Structure 1
Amino acid sequence: MKQSNAMQITGYKKVAHYLRTSSSGQELKLQRGTNEKYLKDVPEDNVIEFVDFDVSATKLCMDERPALSRMLKLIQEGGVSTVVVYERDRLARDVYEYIRIVTTIHHHNVDVVFTASEAPPFSNDLLMEVWYGLSAQFEGQRIRTRLADARKRNPSSLIGYNKVKATKSSSAKYIAKKEYKEKIYQLFFSFSEANTKEDIYNIIKEHKSFLKRTDTRIIEILQNPFFCGHTVTSSGIYEVLENVEPMVTVELFKKVQNKIEQFDREINKGMVLSQQQSVIKPYCGICDKELKFNKGVIGAPGHYTCSKHKVSIGLFELMNDIKESLGIVFQRISSSKIKKITVNKTNKHLAELKKCSKQIQAEIEELCLDFVLDYTPQELSSSEKNIKEINDLRDNLNQIVNKINLIEERLSDIRFVQEISQLDFNEVIEMEFNTLVEILISKINVHPEYIQFDYYFNEYLKEGDVENAS
């Protein structure tokens, strides 16, 4: 596969002309102009153009780039003789994606023409192309780094700042808003003086209402050197931003970073706790609608509420009630009943379904064989009838296979319940709480005065009112 200005069109195969821009602000003019020098001798109806406009190769994987996907599909179908593209980085920025593309091109014996003046010719040597692909990936990483650095130095907007647009003679300036400057300073100062995790949780709660930001966003504010009029390089060097009015000193900012590092584990645990939800969603006992989960403040659990009725329950209260109810039901599970029902009912039904599936498979195989042996192009109506009969049987078989899978999954749950019923509840609840909830509890209804639990496997329970353990 040599790069050449003279491209040969083989049979019905087409020349694929591929173009891509990473953003809507970029133009195709350079790529198109350079590529057309190589396409001028190719008849227009032999060229298929594939354009990915405003499609970033660093943000979207190759399967999410529609034009590239269509081109590769046509190559796999044997419909492309040559690909014309400006440079390797137009095809991919990720080396593994580039390897996939090159492998497809090699496999289908497709020529590739890179039109950029300094682009090395496409090679038959996969190792050589991998090396070129790595170069494209590193360049993509450099672009991402430059863009991230530019956003850090010149954000489009940032809480507490007014941005004064750049002019011909000066760059954009960031002026601190008076109403925010004191509040943000107090946030940094208070945080720097915190001595316990409770202090930190209270400081974040205190500033949430004014700043109107989440716990996570407030931590991000505290970690942003922009507020001290600096940016921090990858090697940890603080660089002054002359166009930014600082709200805090560099010394105070550094003190806060030390405090965040000191309490990193407690901060993360507090944020996780505030967002933690129940394994099973509770419902309103009045309107039967799923209760809405409201996140807690940092360091405190959330709660569930019904917007229409005065029904609410905290996460911890719900979890404790679930454990208490499971404890009652656990003591009433009858291992002997489970074994009896499992053997006599479930396995029998499963065997019948498997026997039925084998019979249908045999029918399908017989029909397929008859169809191949008896097929004649002149008897289309008879062929269509046979095909429909085969498809109907296949649909029926799929339904039976799905039933078998569901029953086997349920059987596995039943055996699990049988096994754990013979263990100590306190040990089981520690190790298998989530599994127990998913397998045993079908629904939780929260009423103003009580909670109702509906359970699966009622037939396996000993005597007692256990349908609604509340």
Structure 2
Amino acid sequence: MHNTRKAQNKLKVFFRRVSTTSQDLIMQESADEMYRSQYSANEILIMTENGVSAKKLDMNKRPQMKKLVSLVMKNQVEIIYAFDRTRLFRDFYESNFFVSLCKTHNVSIVYTSPGNGQQATDSTIFEGVMNIVSDIEGENIARRVQEARLRYPPKKLGFIKDKEMRTYSKDPEKEKSLHSYFEEIKQITNQTELERNLTVYKKKLGTSKERLLKLIQDPFYAAYDISNGEHPLSHVEPYLSFDEFKEIQAGTCGAVIESYLEMEKSLKKLNTYDIRCGLCSVPMTYRYDILGKKSWYMCSRGHTKILIETETLSISVEQTLERILESLNIEPLIRDSRNFFKIYKQFTSQELGLLEKEKKALLERIILETEDLNKWKESPEYNKLIQIEQKHQQHLIKFEKVREQAEENKELVNLLRDYLSTCKLNSTDFLASLLIKNIRAYPDELNIEVSKFDYLTEMKYEFMLMGDQLL
């Protein structure tokens, strides 16, 4: 994309980026040297991103890119030089936005890489296709790195790595315990036995229960890589055969481990409250019992042990939220209804953006996996694409209804109250973070302090749980 019309006193920006701090910019600097020589020093602005991933970080988290966008919008840039498309963006949508922005403000983009096959154009469609290719290229690089780490990890519990020979032999200090661990784990028939086994070998191997569970599901210990097919690893001395490994995964033991991990995942999700000890003001520690299927918060830092079960805490928070919603004062809330509509609009925009990304990913898979593109609608992914499009339309229809209701403030207020009530049912932790200021636990009571705001009338701002009663 090259604009032949010269702009007076506008910046010539040389944008460089490396993904990790271990990389250097020499190649990019060398490639843009011939272009820099055309301008005087006061015309040039060099912008550098060190250790910044354009794949993992969005534009708002890249200070240099935010600054560049701002300069373009202020019509202070004539031309941008970058090594290739991937130095600017790896995200399809952000790249399209940037190309459109540059086109609107008559900013040229030049790629300095000698091997760059195609210079920038004014076509957002073409640039979109090129950036999809860049996305795929970046994903392929990440995939290859991941595959290499699976076959040649930096270190593994129970192995000694020979860096020169790139081989993995059993660690004599761990070998006996690991062999026993695998032998005993094959005999597991229930979660109680699994818990007992993990407790014993956590101490013997000097590791965590989480790591022991991952170890069971790691084919590296059978000298195999199964990330893409079944590939034996001749450079690894195995602790068990591949058949034994598959037997563990498919048998009773595998089912027990899976249910154990699911329960642990569910209990970890319950850790959503910021609760502090009423005696020492320190955040309370979250604990859970997988076998007992329960969790709690506790503190015993130099004082009487304080413990409150998560179930009791959740009930108390829900009762408090109910009282808050019952005390909402409609009249002052009406005045701010338009602001709440803006929040809803932003939320809808984010949802639509996520659906657009899903559509893009499906389209990519369809294009890459369909041999005859004339039959792309026959792809199994096509039905998913239809479903996402339907969700997209449903969001638009719902948003239009909300917009119509916003014309009458009272209608919007009612919608907001319904939303808050729904939020209480579906996302109590989120609503609690907005409406509850502090939660403190004492030996015999729980104190909940409500955030003060203008829309509550005849509302107590502090509640205490005494036994089963919220006072």
TM-score for both structures, normalised by structure 1: 0.67
Question: What is aligned with 1:37?
Answer: 34
Structure 1 residues 310, 51: closer, same or farther in 2, change over 3 A? same
Q: Following superposition of structure 1 onto structure 2, how do residues 150-169 of structure 1 map, counting pairs within 5 Å?
A: 150-166=148-164
1:42 to 1:251, Cα distance in 2 relative to 1, 3 A: same
**1:189 counterpart letter in structure 2:** E
What residue number does 1:258 align with?
Answer: 250
Distance 1:430 1:199, change over 3 A: farther
The C-alpha deviation readout for 1:345-382, integer Å capped at 9, x for no partner, is x679x59x969xxxxxxxxxxxxxxxxxxxxxxxxxxx
TM-superposed deviation, 1:435: 10
Structure 2 runs not aligned, ≥5 long:
337-412, 451-455
Partners of 1:38 and 1:432 in 2: how far apart?
55
2:127 matched to which residue of 1? 129
2:9 corresponding residue in structure 1: 12
Give the direction of change, closer, same or farther, for the CA distance of 1:261–1:95 in structure 2 (3 Å limit): farther
- SS in structure 2 opposite 1:262? helix
The percentage of counterpart residues that share the same residue type is 19
Pairing partner for 2:241 from 241, 249, 260: 249
Change (3 A) 1:298 1:107: same
Q: Does 1:231 align with 2:225?
A: yes
1:306 is aligned to: 300
Q: Deviations over 1:187-226 (max 9, x none)?
A: 3332222222333333223322334444433222112211
Query: Is the counterpart of residue 90 in structure 1 residue 83 in structure 2?
Result: no
Match for 2:71 among 58, 74, 86?
74
- Choose 144-153 or 176-185, whichever is displaced more: 176-185
Shift in Å at residue 273 of structure 1?
5.4
Which one-letter code corresponds to 1:175 in the other structure? S
| Counterpart Cα distance in 2 of 1:437 and 1:124 | 49
Per the alignment, do residues 307 and 40 of structure 1 end up closer, same or farther by CA in structure 2, a change over 3 Å counting? same
The amino acid that maps onto 2:242 is V
Note the C-alpha offset of 1:91: 1.1
Give the counterpart letter for 1:269 in structure 2.
E
Aligned to 2:361: none
Return the alpha-carbon distance in structure 2 between the equivalents of residues 99 and 206 of structure 1: 56
SS in 1 for 2:288: coil
Q: Are the counterparts in 1 of residues 264 and 290 from structure 2 also a CA contact under 8 Å? A: yes
CA distance in 2, matches of 1:127, 1:217: 47
Query: 1:117 aligns to what?
Result: 114
Q: Distance in 2 between matches of 1:71 and 1:322?
A: 47
The whole-number CA distance in structure 1 between the counterparts of 2:10 and 2:449 is: 63
Q: Is residue 292 of structure 1 aligned with residue 289 of structure 2?
A: no
Matches of 2:76 and 2:20 in 1, distance apart? 29
Provide the secondary structure at the position in 2 that maps to 1:15.
strand
Q: How far apart, CA to CA, are the structure 2 residues paired with 1:35 and 1:244? A: 46
Equivalent position of 1:183 in the other structure? 177
| Separation in structure 2 between the aligned mates of residue 47 and residue 279 of structure 1, nearest angstrom | 50
Distance 2:438 2:276 in 1: 11
Shift of 1:16: 0.7
CA contact (8 A) 2:20 2:53 kept: yes
Partner of 2:264: 271
Asked if 1 retains the 8 angstrom alpha-carbon contact of 2:191 and 2:256, the reply is yes
Find the aligned partners of 1:159 and 1:140 in 2 and give their Cα distance: 31
1:309-334 deviation per Cα after TM superposition (whole angstroms, max 9, x unaligned)? 1313263xx6359869999x9xxx99
Contact 2:81 2:110 in 1 (8 A): yes
If you compute each CA radius of gyration, which structure gives the higher value, 1 or 2? 1
Counterpart AA for 2:211: R
1:432 and 1:57 map into 2 onto residues whose CA distance is 32
Change (3 A) 1:284 1:77: closer
3-state SS in 1 of match to 2:80: strand
- What's the offset of the Cα at 1:34? 1.7
Q: CA RMSD in A?
A: 4.3
**Aligned amino acid, residue 99 of structure 2:** V
Q: 1:398 maps to what in 2?
A: none
Rounded to whole Å, the distance in 2 between the matches of 1:64 and 1:441 is 29
Structure 2 partner of 1:446: 442
Count the aligned residue pairs: 374
- The residue type paired with residue 163 of structure 1 is K
Per-residue deviation at 1:42?
A: 1.9
Q: Which amino acid aligns with 1:205?
A: T
* Equivalent residues of 1:85, 1:113 under 8 A apart: yes
The residue identity in structure 2 corresponding to 1:227 is Y
Residues 242-298 of structure 1: per-residue CA shift (max 9 Å, x gap): 22222222122112222465346522333135536577566546x252462243354
Change beyond 3 A, Cα 1:117–1:268: same
Aligned counterpart, 2:372: none
Name the residue aligned to 1:142. 140
Contact residue 317 and residue 432 of structure 2 kept, 8 A: no
| Secondary structure in 2 matching 1:17 | strand
Q: Are 1:24 and 2:54 an aligned pair? A: no
Q: Secondary structure at the match of 1:163?
A: strand
Give the counterpart letter for 1:155 in structure 2.
P
Are the aligned partners of 2:308 and 2:441 in contact in 1 as well (CA < 8 Å)?
A: no
